[in-house]
Structure 1
Amino acid sequence: MNAQSQSAPADRAAPSGTTATLPVSDRVQEALAVTKRGVDELLIETEFAQKLARAERSGNPLRIKLGLDPTAPDLHLGHTVVLNKMRQLQDLGHNVIFLIGDFTSMIGDPSGRNATRPPLTREQIELNAMTYFKQASLVLDAEKTEIRYNSEWCDPLGARGLIELASHSTVARMMERDDFNKRFKANTPISVHEFLYPLMQGYDSVALKSDLELGGTDQRFNLLMGRELQKDYGQEPQCILTMPLLEGLDGIEKMSKSKNNYIGITEPANTMFAKVMSISDVMMWRYYELLSFRSLAEIAGFKAEVAAGKNPRDVKVALAQEIVARFHSAQAAVDALADFVNRSRGGIPDEIPELSLSGAPLGIGQLLKQANLCASGSEALRMVEQGGVRIDGNMISDKGLKVEAGTMVLQVGKRKFARVTLA
C-alpha cells in the first residue's frame, strides 16, 4: 500500500534531468555514483551494478528496503542519514519500501548492545509507529513510498514456521556477531530470543523480495542474514548498503535520544538551528557530508574558504539554515538565524514557555526542576556550579539561593528559557 500524499520540500536533491537520455552504461555509472556518495560499504558493488543495468534495460525498478523499529516516538537527524540515501534512490526511479518493524520491536534489536534490550509492549509500538512514517515523509516522497509492517508475515509464521526459520542458521553463526561475542566472553547474559532478531530481519527481505537493503553500520550482520536467507529460499540475494552512524551533539557517541545528544526532526526551528550551531567546527564537516544536499564540490569550496581564513561559524550557519529549511521552511531558517543572533547577544527568545509555580521562597534547584529546565534538583545545582544559570540575565552562583515570589525569566545553558511566576 502507498502512503497518503504529502508534498516534498522544494530544496531537496532532485534527479538529473539528463539521466534518461544517457546510454544504459552511463546511467548505471551515474546511479552508482549517487548510491555510493557518503556510504560506508556497498556489498556487492558488481552485483548491484548488474541489478541497475537490468532495471534500466527492462524498465522494472529495483525494490529497495529500509526497516526501522518504532522504539521511540520521534525520529532525529541520525535517522535521516539513511533516509536521505533512500530518497536519492527513490529519485533515481526505484521502488522504496519503508518497513515498520512492529513485530521485531517486540524482540528488541541487540545490535551494539551490551545488555538485553527491554522489549516494548504492543501499545508502545503502535503509538510510536503512528508518527514514524509521517516524520519520514519529511525526507521521502510519500506518494511513491510503499509502507509495510513486518507483522504482516511474521505473525502468521506461528511456532512451526519460527522453528523452521531458526533451522536456517547456527549458534556458531550468531556468535560471529561482535556484540554477542563480547557479551559471551564477559559472561553477560544473552537471551535466546535475541538470536531471533537477525533471523526475523532477514526474513523480511525474503517476504519483500528486496534487491537492496539499507541500514547503519551496526546493522551489517542483520543485512547479511537477509542475503543468506534469500539464497536458502531460492531468491536472488539482495545487495546491502551501510551508512555511517552520525555522531550526536557531543561529537563522540552516536546520535540518540537516550543519550540526549540528538536533534529531532520535528523540534522547533529555533531549537534545531541552535543545536546545529552547537556542534564543533570539526564535527561540522561530518554533518555536511552526511546531512547536506549540497554538491561535494560546493562542500570542498567551503573547506577551502575556511582554510583561507573564513570564519567557520558562517559556514555552520549555512548548514543550520539548510537543515531548518528542509524540515520547516526557508522563512523559518531566516527567523531562526535572527533568534540565534539575538540570544548570542544576551537577548531572550521571542517565544518561551510560561508557567506559574507556588511555594515561595523556593530553592533554586527545585525551582529549575519544577520549571522543567533541569531533569533533577542535583542537575540544577551542577548547572549553578558551572555558571550556567541566570535569572533575568543575571548569573546565579549561590546553590543555596532561595528565590522569592515574583515573575522572572529563568535561563539554563544557552537554549533553555522559561518565564515563571512564583507565588
Structure 2
Amino acid sequence: MSFKPVEEQLEVIKRGTVEIVPEQELVEKLKKSIKTNTPLKIKLGVDPTRPDLHLGHSVILRKLRQFQDLGHEAILIIGGFTAMIGDPTGQNKTRPPLTLEEVNENAETYISQAQKILDESKTTLVNNADWLGIMTFMDVVKLSSNLTVARMIERDDFSKRFANNEPISVHEFLYPLAQAQDSVHLESDVELGGTDQKFNLLVGRDLQKADDQEPQVCLMMPLLVGTDGTMKMSKSYDNYIGIDEPANEMYGKSLSIPDELIYRYFELVTDVSNEELEELKKKVEQDPRNTKHELAFTITRMYHGEQAAKDARNHFEKTVINKDVPDDAPEFYYEAGSSHRLLDVISDTEMTSSNGETKRMMKQGGVSLDDKKIQDPNFTITFESGDEMELKVGKRNFARLKSK
C-alpha cells in the first residue's frame, strides 16, 4: 500500500475540521505510517440512541470515509454498552439510558445508513459491549483511579451543573472513562468526534498514557447547523435532513437552509473538491438561489443517484415554483353525499404523523384545499357527485380527493 505525502493527506484531513489535538503528533503519526507502510487506526464511536441518521451525523462519518480513502483503517464502534449508560454531552441533564433491545434495534438501522457513506469493505465494525460488558467491578475501580474528580469537573456541562447545584450522578463520571477505555482496547491512533466530545476524546489520551500506549490524536468536527439556521441539526428541533428521506423531501429541505449556510454545507456534507469549493464561495455571493439548487441536487444525488436528483428538481419546479399538483399525486375516494372532517381526511393520506401535527400545520397555514388555506381543525368536506379537490399539506405533500 502506498500513502499520499503528509501534506496532501493533511489537506484532506483538515477540511472542515475545527481542531486537532495535538496537530504535530498527527503529522508524526502520518510520517511513521508512510515509513512503515502501516495504516493508522481511526476510531469513531457512536451510541445508537436514535435509529435514524441525518446530515449532521454525516459530517463525522464523511471524515471517517476520507481517512479510509487515504488508506487508513476505519473502526466504527457501536456503543452497545455506553448507550445504556447515557452520555449527557451537550445537555444540562442526563440523557436517558436505553435498554439492550432498543440499542440493538437502533444499531441495525444505524449501521445500514452509515454504510451509505462509509466503504463497507474497509470498515471494521465493533461493539464496545464486547469488552466493557465483561469488566469486573474491580476493573472499573482501577480504571476510575486514573482520573480525579477535579479533572471530571473540568468538563463544561458538569461544571455548569455543579455550579448550579444540579445533580450529577456518579455513573455519568464513568461514561468518559468507558469511551476512553475503547481507545485503550483498540489502541487507536486517531479518534474522531464533534466539538461537544472534546473532553471525552482527551480522556482517551489520558488512559492510553496510563496504559503505556502512544496517545491518540483527537480530531473535532463542527456540529452542523440545521435548516433553521440557528440550532444544531436535530430531529428534536425539526430542522434536520434525513439521509434516508425520499429524494423529493431531501431536495426540498436542502433548499430551505439560509443562504449563509450554503458554502458550509458544500464543505461539510458533500464530495466537491477543494478547488470547486473556492469557485462555489464566489457563486454563493453572486447567485445564492441557483447555487442552493446546485447544493440540493448534489446532496440528493449522493444518496439517491443522478436520475432521482433530476426527478426531485423537476418535482420541485412543478409543485413549488409552478404550484402544480404532481402527476403522481395519490388519489383518495369518498362516497358522494358523505361528509368528513379535513383532519380525518389528512389522517387517511398519512401525510402527517398525527392529528396534533395536522392541527399545528393548519394553524401555521400549511394546509390548503384547492389553493385555499384551511386553518379550522373542524373544517368539514361534503363530497358531491363528480367532485375533485386538490389537497396540499406542507410544502411538498399533495393528494387528489375524489367522490365515487
Question: Under a length normalisation based on structure 1, what TM-score does the superposition of the two structures give?
Answer: 0.88
> 2:53–2:113: 8 Å Cα contact kept in structure 1?
yes
Q: CA deviation at 1:323?
A: 1.2
Cα distance in 2 between the residues matched to 1:419 and 1:117: 43
Partner residue of 1:346?
A: 323
User: How far does the alpha carbon of each residue in 1:13-41 deviate from its partner, in whole angstroms, 9 at most, with x for none?
Assistant: xxxxxx9597xxxx011111111111000
Cα distance in 2 between the residues matched to 1:106 and 1:357: 48
**Which consecutive residues of structure 2, in runs of 5 or more, have no partner in the other structure?**
none
* Counterpart AA for 2:396: R
Partner residue of 1:12?
A: none
**Which consecutive residues of structure 1, in runs of 5 or more, have no partner in the other structure?**
1-18
Partner residue of 2:114?
A: 136
User: Structure 1 residue 322 and structure 2 residue 303: aligned?
Assistant: no
- Describe how 1:216-295 pairs up with structure 2 within 5 A: 216-295=194-273
> 2:176–2:203: 8 Å Cα contact kept in structure 1?
yes
> 2:263–2:284: 8 Å Cα contact kept in structure 1?
no
**Could you tell me which of 141, 157, 167 is aligned with 2:145?**
167
* Counterpart AA for 1:341: E
Change (3 A) 1:356 1:175: farther
Partner residue of 1:415?
A: 396
State percent identity of aligned pairs.
Answer: 49
**Could you tell me which of 360, 366, 383 is aligned with 1:388?**
366
Cα distance in 1 between the residues matched to 2:328 and 2:44: 37
> 1:101–1:151: 8 Å Cα contact kept in structure 2?
yes
Q: CA deviation at 1:139?
A: 1.1
Structure 2 residue matching 1:156: 3-state secondary structure:
coil
* Counterpart AA for 1:346: K
Q: CA deviation at 1:364?
A: 3.8
Partner residue of 2:128?
A: 150
Cα distance in 2 between the residues matched to 1:120 and 1:353: 38
Partner residue of 1:83?
A: 61
- Describe how 1:9-408 pairs up with structure 2 within 5 A: 27-308=5-286, 310=287, 312-344=288-320, 345-352=322-329, 361-365=339-343, 367-368=345-346, 371-374=349-352, 377=355, 379-405=357-383, 408=389
> 2:3–2:37: 8 Å Cα contact kept in structure 1?
no
Partner residue of 1:5?
A: none
User: How far does the alpha carbon of each residue in 1:332-385 deviate from its partner, in whole angstroms, 9 at most, with x for none?
Assistant: 111111111111111224545666799x64444454456444455455344334
> 1:273–1:336: 8 Å Cα contact kept in structure 2?
yes
* Counterpart AA for 1:411: K
Q: CA deviation at 1:179?
A: 0.8
Change (3 A) 1:137 1:399: closer
Change (3 A) 1:352 1:264: farther
Q: CA deviation at 1:131?
A: 1.7
Partner residue of 1:9?
A: none
User: How far does the alpha carbon of each residue in 1:277-308 deviate from its partner, in whole angstroms, 9 at most, with x for none?
Assistant: 11111121221121122123322223323434
Number of residue pairs matched?
399
Change (3 A) 1:212 1:422: farther
> 2:3–2:71: 8 Å Cα contact kept in structure 1?
no
Cα distance in 2 between the residues matched to 1:103 and 1:90: 26
Cα distance in 1 between the residues matched to 2:239 and 2:268: 17
Cα distance in 1 between the residues matched to 2:166 and 2:342: 42
Cα distance in 1 between the residues matched to 2:56 and 2:120: 20
> 1:116–1:189: 8 Å Cα contact kept in structure 2?
no
Structure 2 residue matching 1:72: 3-state secondary structure:
coil
* Counterpart AA for 1:191: S
Cα distance in 2 between the residues matched to 1:191 and 1:80: 31
Change (3 A) 1:419 1:306: same
Structure 1 residue matching 2:262: 3-state secondary structure:
helix
Question: Under a length normalisation based on structure 2, what TM-score does the superposition of the two structures give?
Answer: 0.91
User: How far does the alpha carbon of each residue in 1:230-258 deviate from its partner, in whole angstroms, 9 at most, with x for none?
Assistant: 00111000001000000111111111122
> 2:195–2:220: 8 Å Cα contact kept in structure 1?
yes
* Counterpart AA for 1:414: K
> 2:3–2:70: 8 Å Cα contact kept in structure 1?
no
Change (3 A) 1:348 1:159: farther
Q: CA deviation at 1:398?
A: 4.3
Q: CA deviation at 1:117?
A: 1.1
> 2:190–2:218: 8 Å Cα contact kept in structure 1?
yes
Q: CA deviation at 1:324?
A: 1.2
* Counterpart AA for 1:315: T
Cα distance in 2 between the residues matched to 1:320 and 1:82: 20
Q: CA deviation at 1:48?
A: 0.6
Cα distance in 2 between the residues matched to 1:135 and 1:289: 21
* Counterpart AA for 1:143: S
User: How far does the alpha carbon of each residue in 1:59-93 deviate from its partner, in whole angstroms, 9 at most, with x for none?
Assistant: 11100001111111111111110111111111111
Q: CA deviation at 1:171?
A: 1.6
Cα distance in 1 between the residues matched to 2:348 and 2:150: 52
Cα distance in 2 between the residues matched to 1:256 and 1:107: 21
